[in-house]
Amino acid sequence: MSNNVLWHNQQVTKESRELLTKQKPCILWFTGLSGSGKSTIANALEHLLYTNGNFTYLLDGDNLRHGLNKDLGFDDSSRIENIRRVGEVAKLFVQSGQIVLTAFISPFRSDREVVKNLVEDAEFVEIFVDTPLEVCESRDPKGLYKKARAGEIKNFTGIDSLYEKPEKSQIHIKNTQISVEQASQQIMEFLIKNKFITRSSN
């Protein structure tokens, strides 16, 4: 970083935004294989939070590759840079007082740890959407596993690229034994119990 780049302090702080939004900002980091249900559950959860009166934003891996990360490939170094950028964006949302939901395969534990270290410990909530490879492959909503098996896609997580399961995720969703509604409600209860949000009386 250049010595001529200095940090500019802002008058409106994260704490002042917390008072305004009446919630504790955090990163809800959904991780799991392609087809595990990360985006589906994250979408359902965001709707619950919206109806509860909370301020949120959902960052989805595919969506960001249409813009912010469209210059990146899927080799290991590109995956690392993809998650680094997402982490920095998520940090900005936390600073703005919002609850940011992120749905990314994010296969490497070290990369998820990097994002965790960008914010305070309690502000990073890792959500492991645990769905067996054979189930994800049978769903194959985008036809990606079929292409990976045919050799048309290289470095595909779970096929020819490693996925490192979380060792101590705060929320572990076994997505063969639970509905989308139950999964999103499970996360809501976690957020209420740990005082990130309060339940709306509406």
Structure confidence at residue 132 (pLDDT): 94
Q: Has residue 63 been placed in a domain?
A: yes
Starting from the edge strand earliest in sequence, which strands make up the sheet with 171-174, in order?
Answer: 56-60, 99-103, 26-31, 124-130, 171-174
Instruction: Given the residues 34, 36, 39, 106, select the one marked as catalytic.
Output: 106
- Compute the average pLDDT of residues 9-25: 84
- Compute the average pLDDT of residues 108-128: 94
Residue pair 97/119 in contact by the 8 Å Cβ criterion: no
Side chain identity, residue 147:
K
- Compute the average pLDDT of residues 98-114: 93
- Compute the average pLDDT of residues 95-115: 93
Q: Has residue 6 been placed in a domain?
A: no
Indicate the number of domains in the chain. 1
The CATH number linked to 38 is 3.40.50.300
Q: Residue 173's domain spans which residues? A: 14-193
Mean pLDDT (the chain) is 90
Q: Higher pLDDT residue, 40 or 199?
A: 40
106 catalytically annotated: yes
Q: Does 116 have pLDDT greater than 60?
A: yes
Q: Higher pLDDT residue, 186 or 78?
A: 186
Q: Has residue 159 been placed in a domain?
A: yes
How much is the pTM?
0.89
| Integer Cα distance of 158 and 151 in angstroms | 14
Q: Report the DSSP pairing between strands 99-103 and 26-31.
A: parallel
Structure confidence at residue 6 (pLDDT): 62
Tell me the residue ranges of DSSP E strands in the chain: 26-31, 56-60, 99-103, 124-130, 171-174
Q: Has residue 198 been placed in a domain?
A: no
- Compute the average pLDDT of residues 116-135: 95
In which band, very low, low, confident or very high, does the pLDDT at 201 lie, cut at 50, 70 and 90?
Answer: low
pLDDT, tens digit, for every residue of 34-80? Answer: 999 999 999 999 999 999 999 999 998 778 878 878 888 888 888 88
Q: Has residue 200 been placed in a domain?
A: no
**45 vs 23, 74, 102, 103, 198, CA distance in Å?**
16, 28, 11, 12, 15
Q: Has residue 126 been placed in a domain?
A: yes
